[in-house]
């Protein structure tokens, strides 16, 4: 799942426009997954998955202690990572995305997770 998370972050970084240049790629990856997955698990369900994912990611990347998940499941406070090195920011972003994808795969399996991800990035195979 680390490769998939990295792939999604790269996709978002490549598609980044001038208007959303200040938004962290991890936020954009999670936001896309939120929109796609909320239809499937509901807002409360997605918020619960994000909270769990963030908690698991924090055990790997302590920097994420300052980040929270709001009631809709969106990441908050990620701008605090701006002072960290690009590598640390990258590790933090990968950790969140990877944990979310892993958690999803734990519940519904890897093939189903990939289908849901493909719904969020319909052009990714091109």
Q: Which of residues 58-117 bind another protein (CB under 8 A)?
A: 103, 105-112, 114-115, 117
Contact 40, 49 (CB under 8 A): no
Query: In the complex with another protein, which residue's Cβ is closer, 18 or 125?
Result: 125
Q: Is 52 exposed, middle or buried (0-12, 13-18, 19+ CB in 10 A)?
A: middle
Does 124 participate in binding another protein (rule CB under 8 A)? Answer: yes
Give least dist CB 79 to another protein, A: 23
Q: Count the neighbouring beta carbons within 10 Å of the beta carbon of residue 72.
A: 13
Window contacting another protein (CB under 8 A); options: 27-35, 37-45, 75-83, 85-93: 37-45
Nearer to another protein, 79 or 106 (CB): 106
From residue 81, how far is each of 77, 91, 123 by CA, in Å?
A: 8, 11, 29
């Amino acid at each position: 799942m680390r490769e998939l998370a990295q792939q999604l972050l790269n996709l978002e970084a490549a598609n980044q426009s001038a208007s959303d240049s200040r938004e962290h790629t991890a936020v954009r990856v999670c936001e896309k997954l939120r929109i796609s997955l909320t239809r499937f698990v509901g807002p409360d369900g997605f918020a619960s998955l994000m909270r769990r994912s963030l908690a698991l990611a924090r055990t790997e990347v302590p920097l994420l202690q300052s980040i929270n998940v709001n009631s809709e499941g969106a990441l908050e406070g990620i701008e605090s990572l701006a002072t960290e090195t690009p590598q640390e920011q990258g590790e933090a972003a990968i950790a969140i995305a990877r944990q979310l994808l892993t958690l999803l795969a734990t519940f519904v399996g890897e093939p189903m997770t990939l289908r849901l991800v493909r719904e969020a990035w319909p052009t990714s195979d091109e």
